[in-house]
Amino acid sequence: MDASLPDNTQHQAVSAAILYQEFEEFNRVCHITSRVTAPDAELFVIRSAITLATQQDNCEKIYVFTDSIASARRAVDPSLHSGQGHSLAVCRTLAAWLAEDSSCTITFIQVPSKLEWSIHKEAHDYAKDLSSHELALGQPHL
């Protein structure tokens, strides 16, 4: 997952996630996240990806690859902060999912963007592609 903030302040941020199950892509989402900070856009996409992953049948392990480990920490921090609504939704989703089966786990892995690791770079490019094309056309935001 990754987020892209446009250079042009008239455009909006984009958050993108590519979800895999057993090494096969099964879903790809991209959201216009409005005019927000980079950490808030990252937090939104973490929420989106976790929600989608926990809805999959027989999902026992979730690995979240992100270049923003600070946003990953905030995702599971219910205290008062910017984006707290996303964090509360993540905590609620994970609490229900983890309660279903004691073998369920979630792991956050930091992937620095400069490494251009294939899957993370693909999500980055996916977000960049939308932000540079559709946002310039004035698409509505979420």
Enumerate domains of the chain plus CATH numbers.
2-137 (3.30.420.10)
Is 38 within 8 Å of 5 (Cβ atoms)?
yes
| Helices (runs of H) and strands (runs of E) counted in the chain | 4, 5
Q: Could you give the angle at the alpha carbon of 124 between the alpha carbons of 120 and 130, nearest 5°? A: 145
pTM: 0.81
> Any idea which residue has 């609504």 for tokens?
85
Element (H, E) at 18: strand 13-21
| Position with higher pLDDT, 135 vs 28 | 28
**Average pLDDT of 20-26?**
91
Is 11 within 8 Å of 135 (Cβ atoms)?
yes
DSSP label of 137: G
| Position with higher pLDDT, 95 vs 40 | 95
pLDDT digits (tens, 9 = 90+) for 78-128: 999 989 999 999 999 999 999 999 999 999 999 988 888 888 888 878 887
